[in-house]
């Protein structure tokens, strides 16, 4: 369990709601002072270090390992190979859940992708283990790998993403295209991308008989315990996970992955605590990525610029041994009105690690293609790109016909456009320059992300001294969850922040579900709110049943809680403090419980999404082809805002990620070996400070009475979905070159022709 001191509320925040206050991070001080303990910071007595030896081929078999040379190296204790790996209760290739992935746990000598673990060296020091791994000198029987979507036969998967249908249709697309006044068909390619959080998938594992204690970053501790329980044939209650801090996650820590389980197996083999931390290069392969896509969009428009048909087909890649298919086409279900929509997917298997959830899975890849195509359609109709989007504004979700639970996208367009100065944009490309002669381009992209809720539980406690405690096994990947959830905790108990303690980050606390899908705050927040209401209701019943209470005999629905007191509605004088109720009852504390989950009936009736609009300015050197994003303005409507400071930070981070998608990020794969050539943080390019100019995020007020009790949507991923397309469209406006692959680079600017495929 992780106990944090209560947040100290500034004096001006006393006696008012915590929700909506721009508080600083609860855990900020311990992080910047180095006091925060991440998984790899743990060093139990007798701990050994484990290092993976990984394959340098993408397809074939390991024919030999020099295990004796490695074991002879000073400090090496053991070498784990398929020959001596401890037995498992379940085949690592068994999979019966979309949040579970097939694992490579030395079950045989087969190599399915580069960087797959082929052995684990365990030693007294990290250096000895590293040197021992090098001495293994593996030899291979090499087979030719399939490495891109042109190398294999495509097939239609049963499902895409975490179980979505691979195809969806409404209306007659072919008829809509045939009857259109103008038509567009274009294909867009997005590369494989790798989420590499600052903290790798470190694990420190300790076995105590059949009980397992681990320190590891996890976005879903209950799911992790269930997976490990199945693999090792033990009870989930005998597994304890500590995960108070995550140095980033982005989806890749949502499931237990092979290196983490190898660390546990190593500890079992040697009977001592073991730490295993993948190197940065080893993060590229066994720990998930965003799969490459090739997306073909066909759009039909009438004389007024209204869509008559929208077809969105995605071809993506997955591994040869597992199933995760990027659901990129599904973004076209929700944004633009069209009487006919068709979304389809097919896939090709390649020798790569399995793709998985990566920030805005499906929506990120799909939106950059859709928003580029929408811009091209606006050009074909001779319309301003924003005017075209407004002409095709969807009042109901196009694919389902459901009303939106709330939608303030028009206001997002209006506020961001005004702030950006969009009305000054000239329609023709290459028509704007700055004082230095650089080409200036302005682009817009629509942002959308579904409202996601998992299931979560929370516990709320009121103590005899009038303070409160809220507990749930939540995680904070760095986005500010500690603080936002503490604010919800205080308000749920109707206490000030400095009288509330929020505990999280361990698996012996109530299940907090999954920190993913931009649904963590909504899910856990509603569980906390329900737990607070439950314990307050118990306190009210205690008070009104007590003859010595000034509230005795008052109907329960006529009593309200206000900042540590129970009072009669509309009578602030008649009431008493929480502590007085508990003192007379002679109890030290009372406890309440709550759950957060989606309302299936509401989900059946409403389409629930967050929306936004992003405007981007780029400047391009006409001679050198260098591209710089000089301004970005985004406006987002995402339900109730718990902490404006944290929300702004989330929008900034997502917009910067979108910039990286458009201009930087790509895994370069060696066509001979299947190895990733830029498997480090120097050559795998992501935006740095110098790449980001002016950036603004506007929060558009939105009250959604349907999504959940607190009205929370999600903010973590939506900013990616509008930004990449806005930048691509701005590059076209600056240069007249429509680049249909990503990332866009200097070579594209210098290429001949107006279209770059």
> Catalytic residue numbers?
717
**Alpha-carbon distance 650 to 714, whole Å?**
10
CA-closest candidate to residue 158, choices 98, 115, 88: 98
**Alpha-carbon distance 34 to 626, whole Å?**
39
Kindly tell me the burial class for residue 671, based on how many C-beta atoms sit within 10 Å of its own C-beta (0-12, 13-18, 19 or more): exposed
User: Half-sphere exposure of residue 631, counting CA atoms within 13 Å on the CB side?
Assistant: 14
Q: What is the DSSP string of 135-199?
A: HT--EEEE-PPP-STTSS--B--SEETTTEES-EEES-HHHHHHT-SEEEEEEEEE--B----SS
The CA-based angle 516-522-527, given to 5 degrees, is: 110
**Alpha-carbon distance 85 to 106, whole Å?**
7
C-alpha distance from residue 303 to each of 307, 395, 450, 640 (Å) = 10, 21, 32, 40
Tokens of 126: 């990290």
**Alpha-carbon distance 338 to 357, whole Å?**
29
C-alpha distance from residue 111 to each of 94, 241, 659 (Å) = 18, 30, 35
**Alpha-carbon distance 645 to 626, whole Å?**
33
Return phi, psi of residue 604, to 5°. -75, -30
- Looking only at the bridges linking them, the beta strands covering 48-54 and 274-276 are parallel
Count other Cβ atoms within 10 Å, centred on residue 223: 20
**Alpha-carbon distance 17 to 472, whole Å?**
21
Tokens of 203: 């694990």
Residues 205 and 80: beta-carbon distance below 8 Å: no
**Alpha-carbon distance 38 to 243, whole Å?**
8
**Alpha-carbon distance 152 to 204, whole Å?**
40
Question: Secondary structure of 365-422 in the HEC alphabet?
Answer: HHHHHHHHHHHHHHHHCCCCHHHHHHHCECCECCCCCCEECCCCHHHHHHHHHHHHCH
**Alpha-carbon distance 139 to 371, whole Å?**
48
Residues 254 and 220: beta-carbon distance below 8 Å: yes
Task: Report which DSSP code applies to 705.
Answer: S
Residues 536 and 49: beta-carbon distance below 8 Å: no
CA-closest candidate to residue 117, choices 282, 241, 243: 282
**Alpha-carbon distance 683 to 675, whole Å?**
14
**Alpha-carbon distance 558 to 10, whole Å?**
31
Q: Which residues pair with 164 in a beta bridge?
A: 160
The CA-based angle 400-401-405, given to 5 degrees, is: 95
């Amino acid at each position: 369990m992780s106990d944090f001191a209560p947040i100290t509320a500034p004096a001006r925040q006393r006696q008012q709601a915590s929700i909506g206050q721009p508080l600083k991070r609860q855990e900020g001080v311990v992080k910047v002072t180095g006091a925060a303990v991440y998984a790899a910071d743990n060093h139990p007595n007798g701990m050994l270090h484990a290092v993976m030896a990984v394959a340098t081929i993408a397809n074939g078999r390991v024919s030999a390992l020099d295990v004796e040379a490695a074991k002879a190296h000073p400090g090496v204790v053991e070498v784990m190979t398929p020959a001596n790996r401890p037995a498992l209760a379940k085949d690592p290739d068994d999979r019966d859940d979309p949040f579970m992935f097939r694992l490579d746990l030395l079950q045989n000598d087969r190599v399915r992708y580069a960087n797959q673990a082929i052995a684990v060296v365990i030693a007294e020091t990290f250096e000895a283990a590293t040197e021992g791994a090098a001495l293994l000198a593996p030899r291979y029987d090499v087979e030719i790998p399939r490495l891109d979507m042109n190398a294999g036969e495509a097939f239609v998967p049963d499902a895409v993403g975490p179980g979505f249908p691979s195809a969806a249709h409404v209306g007659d697309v072919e008829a809509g295209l045939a009857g259109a006044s103008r038509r567009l068909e274009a294909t867009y390619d997005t590369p494989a991308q790798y989420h590499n959080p600052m903290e790798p998938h470190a694990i420190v594992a300790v076995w105590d008989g059949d009980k397992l204690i681990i320190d590891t970053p996890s976005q879903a501790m209950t799911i992790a315990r269930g997976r490990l329980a199945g693999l090792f044939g033990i009870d989930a209650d005998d597994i304890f996970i500590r995960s108070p801090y995550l140095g980033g996650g982005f989806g890749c820590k949502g499931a237990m992955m092979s290196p983490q389980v190898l660390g546990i197996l190593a500890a079992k083999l040697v009977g001592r605590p073991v730490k295993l931390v993948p190197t940065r290069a080893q993060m590229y392969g066994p720990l998930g990525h965003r799969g490459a896509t090739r997306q073909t969009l066909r759009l039909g428009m009438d004389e007024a610029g209204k869509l008559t048909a929208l077809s969105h087909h995605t071809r993506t890649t997955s591994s040869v041994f597992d199933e995760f298919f990027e659901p990129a086409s599904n973004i076209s279900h929700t944004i633009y009105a069209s009487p006919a929509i068709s979304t389809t997917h097919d896939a090709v298997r390649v020798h790569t690690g399995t793709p998985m959830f990566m920030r805005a899975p499906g929506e990120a890849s799909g939106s950059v293609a859709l928003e580029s195509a929408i811009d091209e359609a606006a050009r074909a109709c001779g319309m301003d790109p924003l005017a075209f989007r407004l002409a095709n504004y969807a009042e109901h979700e196009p694919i389902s016909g459901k009303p939106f639970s709330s939608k303030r996208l028009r206001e997002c367009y209006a506020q961001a456009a005004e702030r950006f100065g969009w009305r000054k944009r000239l329609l023709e490309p290459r028509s704007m320059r700055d004082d230095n002669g650089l080409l200036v381009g302005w682009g817009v992209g629509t942002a959308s992300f579904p409202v996601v809720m998992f299931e979560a539980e929370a516990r709320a406690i009121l103590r005899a001294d009038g303070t409160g405690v809220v507990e749930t096994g939540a995680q904070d990947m760095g986005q500010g969850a500690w603080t936002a959830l503490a604010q919800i905790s205080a308000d749920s108990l109707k206490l000030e922040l400095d009288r509330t303690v929020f505990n999280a980050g361990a698996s012996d606390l109530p299940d907090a579900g999954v920190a993913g899908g931009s649904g963590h705050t909504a899910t856990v927040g509603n569980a906390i709110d329900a737990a607070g209401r439950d314990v307050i209701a118990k306190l009210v019943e205690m008070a009104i049943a007590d003859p010595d209470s000034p509230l005795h005999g008052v109907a329960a629905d006529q009593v309200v809680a206000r900042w540590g007191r129970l009072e009669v509605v509309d009578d602030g004088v008649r009431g008493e403090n929480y502590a007085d109720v508990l003192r007379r009852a002679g109890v030290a504390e009372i406890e309440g419980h709550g759950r957060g989950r989606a309302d299936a009936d509401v989900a059946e009736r409403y389409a629930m999404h967050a929306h936004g609009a992003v405007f981007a300015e780029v400047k391009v050197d006409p001679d050198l082809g260098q591209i710089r994003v000089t301004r970005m303005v985004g406006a987002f409507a995402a339900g109730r805002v718990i902490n404006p400071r944290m929300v702004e930070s989330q929008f900034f981070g997502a917009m910067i990620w979108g910039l990286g998608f458009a201009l930087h990020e790509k895994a370069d794969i060696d066509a001979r070996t299947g190895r990733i050539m830029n498997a480090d943080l120097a050559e795998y390019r992501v935006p740095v400070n110098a790449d980001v100019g002016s950036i603004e995020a506007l929060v558009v007020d939105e009250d959604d009475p349907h999504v959940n009790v607190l009205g929370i949507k999600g903010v973590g991923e939506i900013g990616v979905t509008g930004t990449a397309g806005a930048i691509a469209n701005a590059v076209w406006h600056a240069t007249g070159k429509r680049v249909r692959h990503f990332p866009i680079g200097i070579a594209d600017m210098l290429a001949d022709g107006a279209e770059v495929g």
